[in-house]
Structure 1
């Protein structure tokens, strides 16, 4: 039923695009015949909007990976730098939450570790929506911020780093087997908001996969049992993402963007002072409106990175 609804939606979108194109072409012809410049201008404006919509749909046709249509987890980790980097991590968390909301996706907070003074040390959110992983997968990597620090009494410019890791939610069609003997399970008291009960019991769960060192944690529910089940799902998803990463590395014969959380693996820079610029270091795409980008306007960066990734795959083939 989900696949059917998606296909019906795609067909309706195509039919709608065709109808809008035909209607506005007719309006332009009519406006030119009657000398009505206002009608012509409105129709031309509608066609420009139509092109933006069709460009996005064209990029979506590139989302053909086996997990691209799935929901996904987004992890944010603050880098070295204390409060400054933790505040930057919180800004990134808001940016991806706002992007998801713009797409009509649902966002669930799985866990948050607050910073000592401000911001967050780390957080994991679940983004639910069609092609969520396909769009967000190119965002994995290190993000760099340059700004006048609001935490510096001397108003000096600071550079901060935070890392993003995106991995897909796996569904019933993907079987990942993990034995309890392969992991270490720890429980701890949840931190942050959540009411009295969530902070007075050891309901939070952390699972460490011994062989790979992968760590997942969940504290979004009062029930340790539910958090444990969710953490297992997250671990299977991380292991699946690691396998996808390995396959991509072999296919492309190059190191993946997120092979390690190291500050040499920067994918994008956000400069707020002394000038304003967001630049993707992989594709060269730039924006002179960083506030819009930080408010979730990421489509241009995602589209370019996705097209570049697909282009490299075609060259390797």
Structure 2
């Protein structure tokens, strides 16, 4: 039913655009005959708005993958570099939370490991919304930040790395077989702001899938059983995403971006000093407004990466400074 609704909405949107375009063209022809410049200008403006809408619908039509319509998990991990990279990881987490909010998605942090002084070591964000995974899936990889470090008393320029991994939420219609003997389950005390329950019981759960080496954790619930259920859901999603990646022709290139959190593997550079620029190293899309990007305005990057991924036209990764 969800697939049927999605297809009906897509067909209806195309018909509406076609109908409005035909009507607007007739209005322009009528305005030319009658010499009505105001009507002609208004009609041209309507056509321009239709062109923007058609562009958005074209990008949405690319979200036709097996799991594109699903909710998704976004994992953020800090790279080497201590406090500086942990602060950068937290900035990325906030960027994705703001992006989800702007798109009308619901975001929920289900795992959070704070850094020693500032920032985060790792965190997992659950994003719920139509085509959440389809939009976010191209964000998996290493993100690089160049700035004057606020933690350096000498005000030197630092380069920091953080990795992002996006994978779809597995619903009840998808079966993922997991053998109990392949799992290692650890419990520990949740880390966070505190409260009557946090840090007092071993409610947080970490599950390691031994054959694949995948590790997932959840600490958002007070109940250990609920955290275990959430962690198992994350594990199934990770294994499912692993299978989806295996099926893709670009799997080798995609996995290469996840191998190291460092030089030569980044997919996007965020430069705050000595100049301001954010550049996607796969598609060449760039902007001189990093503040907007870090506030969640990343749709241009997502659309370009999605189109490149669909059409198989990924650019070679090159360094930019």
Tell me the TM-score normalized by structure 2: 0.89
State the SS of the aligned residue for 1:197.
Answer: coil
State the SS of the aligned residue for 2:135.
Answer: helix
- What residue is the counterpart of 1:77 in the other structure? 77
- What residue is the counterpart of 2:218 in the other structure? 218
Query: Counterparts of 1:202 and 1:220 in 2: how far apart (Å)?
Result: 12
- What residue is the counterpart of 1:145 in the other structure? 145
State the SS of the aligned residue for 2:3.
Answer: helix
Alignment of 1:18-37 (within 5 A): 18-22=18-22, 24-25=24-25, 28-29=28-29
State the SS of the aligned residue for 2:107.
Answer: strand
- What residue is the counterpart of 1:164 in the other structure? 164
1:141–1:261 Cα contact (<8 Å) kept: no
Matched, 1:203 2:207: no
2:161–2:261 Cα contact (<8 Å) kept: no
Shift of 1:15: 4.2
Query: Counterparts of 1:50 and 1:281 in 2: how far apart (Å)?
Result: 30
Query: Counterparts of 2:83 and 2:64 in 1: how far apart (Å)?
Result: 40
2:76–2:164 Cα contact (<8 Å) kept: yes
- What residue is the counterpart of 1:273 in the other structure? 273
- What residue is the counterpart of 1:255 in the other structure? 253
The structure-2 alpha-carbon separation of the partners of 1:48 and 1:293, relative to structure 1 and needing over 3 Å to count, comes to farther
Alignment of 1:2-81 (within 5 A): 2-22=2-22, 24-25=24-25, 28-29=28-29, 40-81=40-81
The structure-2 alpha-carbon separation of the partners of 1:42 and 1:309, relative to structure 1 and needing over 3 Å to count, comes to same
The structure-2 alpha-carbon separation of the partners of 1:66 and 1:107, relative to structure 1 and needing over 3 Å to count, comes to same
Query: Counterparts of 2:207 and 2:185 in 1: how far apart (Å)?
Result: 5
The structure-2 alpha-carbon separation of the partners of 1:152 and 1:27, relative to structure 1 and needing over 3 Å to count, comes to farther
Cα distance per residue 1:230-288 (max 9 Å; x no partner): 1001001111111222222xx34743244424323110001111111111111111111
- What residue is the counterpart of 1:96 in the other structure? 96
- What residue is the counterpart of 1:192 in the other structure? 192
State the SS of the aligned residue for 1:256.
Answer: helix
Query: Counterparts of 2:66 and 2:214 in 1: how far apart (Å)?
Result: 22
2:88–2:160 Cα contact (<8 Å) kept: yes
State the SS of the aligned residue for 1:296.
Answer: coil
Shift of 1:76: 0.3
- What residue is the counterpart of 2:118 in the other structure? 118
2:142–2:258 Cα contact (<8 Å) kept: no
Across the aligned residues of Structure 1 and Structure 2, the Cα RMSD in angstroms comes to 2.3
Query: Counterparts of 2:21 and 2:184 in 1: how far apart (Å)?
Result: 58
Query: Counterparts of 2:6 and 2:153 in 1: how far apart (Å)?
Result: 53
Q: Which shifted more, 142-151 or 37-46?
A: 37-46
Q: Which shifted more, 4-13 or 291-300?
A: 4-13
Query: Counterparts of 1:240 and 1:117 in 2: how far apart (Å)?
Result: 35
Tell me the TM-score normalized by structure 1: 0.90
Q: Which shifted more, 45-54 or 22-31?
A: 22-31
Shift of 1:126: 0.8
